[in-house]
Amino acid sequence: MARVERERSDRNYVSEVRADQARRTRRRLVDAAVGLFVERGYAGTTIDAIAAAAGVSRKTVFDSVGGKAQLVKLAYDFAIVGDDEPVPLIDRQEIAALNAEPDPAARLAAYAAMVVRIDIRISPIWRVLESAAAHDAEAAALHATLVEQRWTSMHRPAQLFASRGELRPELDVEGAAGVLWLANDPSLFDKLVRQRGWSVERFQAWLTELTQVGLLGR
C-alpha cells in the first residue's frame, strides 16, 4: 500500500511540474508575442519570430497556445485579470467587493477605477487586434467575439443596479448595460489617453462621471 501511495504521489508531482512548465511557457510566449505585435504589428509578426523571442521552437508555439489569434486571445485574457491564474474576473475578490458596495455612486467610482487599471494593461493588445481585424479574417472573428462577450457580460452588473432600484427612472437594464459596455471599451482609453494626451487621472474622473450620470442621473 505504501508503495502504491508513493508511486501515486510521484506521478502527481511530475504532473504538477509539467503543468507549471507548460504555464511558464505560455506566459513567455504571450509576453514575447505582445512585444512583437506592438512593435511590428499583427501582420508583420511571424510565428517564427515569436518562437525565437520566447526561446522555443515553432512547434512549441502551436502546441502550447496555437496561432497568432490564439496568442492575442490569451494576452487579452491575461490583461483583463492582470495575471495568468485560471480564474475569470467575475469570480475574483475585486468583483465581489464591487458588488458588496452599498452606495451606487461609490460602486461606479470603483468600477471606473477598475476599468482604468484594466485599460492600462489591455490597451496595447486591443489596439493591435482592432488594426488586424480590418485585414485578417481570424483576427476579425476574434474581435467580434470579444466585443459581443463584453456586451453580454455587462448585463449582470446592469441587472444588479436595476434589482436594487438604483437606475434613473427612464433607464432599463438594456440601456444600463449599454452605458457600462461603452465605459469599458478599451478604445476610449486609447483615444483619450494615448492619442489626445489626457492624464490617466483625468480619464478616470471622466469615466466615473459618465457612468454615474448615465446610470444614476447624477
Mark whether 183 and 147 lie in a shared domain: yes
Instruction: Report the pLDDT averaged over residues 169-181.
Output: 96
Give pLDDT tens digits for 40-92.
Answer: 999 999 999 999 999 999 999 999 999 999 999 999 999 999 888 888 888 89
- DSSP H helical ranges for the chain: 2-40, 47-54, 58-64, 68-81, 93-100, 104-133, 137-153, 155-163, 173-183, 186-189, 200-211
Q: How confident is the model at residue 13 (pLDDT cuts 50, 70, 90)?
A: very low
Confirm whether 81 is domain-assigned: no
- Cα–Cα dist 44/82, whole Å: 26
Q: What CATH number did the domain enclosing 90 receive?
A: 1.10.357.10
Mark whether 50 and 93 lie in a shared domain: no
Mark whether 125 and 46 lie in a shared domain: no
C-alpha torsion sign, points 112, 144, 188, 186: positive
Q: What CATH number did the domain enclosing 32 receive?
A: 1.10.10.60
What was the pLDDT predicted at 33? 96
Confirm whether 194 is domain-assigned: yes
Q: Please, are residues 179 and 210 in contact by the beta-carbon 8 Å criterion? A: yes
Instruction: Report the pLDDT averaged over residues 134-155.
Output: 95
Confirm whether 79 is domain-assigned: no
Contacts of 176 (CB under 8 A, 6+ apart): 158, 161, 162, 167, 214, 215
- Percentage of the chain exceeding pLDDT 70: 92
Instruction: Report the pLDDT averaged over residues 169-177.
Output: 96
Mark whether 46 and 110 lie in a shared domain: no
What was the pLDDT predicted at 146? 96
Confirm whether 121 is domain-assigned: yes
Instruction: Report the pLDDT averaged over residues 181-206.
Output: 96
- Enclosing domain of residue 59: 1-66
Nearest to 122 by CA among 132, 133, 114, 134: 114
What was the pLDDT predicted at 218? 82
Mark whether 109 and 59 lie in a shared domain: no
Q: By CB neighbour count within 10 A (0-12 exposed, 13-18 middle, 19+ buried), where does 68 fall? A: buried
pLDDT for 130 beyond 90: yes
Mark whether 96 and 45 lie in a shared domain: no
Confirm whether 80 is domain-assigned: no
Mark whether 128 and 195 lie in a shared domain: yes
- Cα–Cα dist 89/80, whole Å: 7
Mark whether 42 and 102 lie in a shared domain: no
Give me the number of domains the chain comprises.
2
What was the pLDDT predicted at 17? 60
Give pLDDT tens digits for 95-115.
Answer: 999 999 999 999 999 999 999
Mark whether 95 and 31 lie in a shared domain: no
Domain closes at, from 37, 66, 95: 66
Average pLDDT for the chain:
91
Cell (9 digits) for 153? 457580460
Give pLDDT tens digits for 20-33.
Answer: 788 899 999 999 99
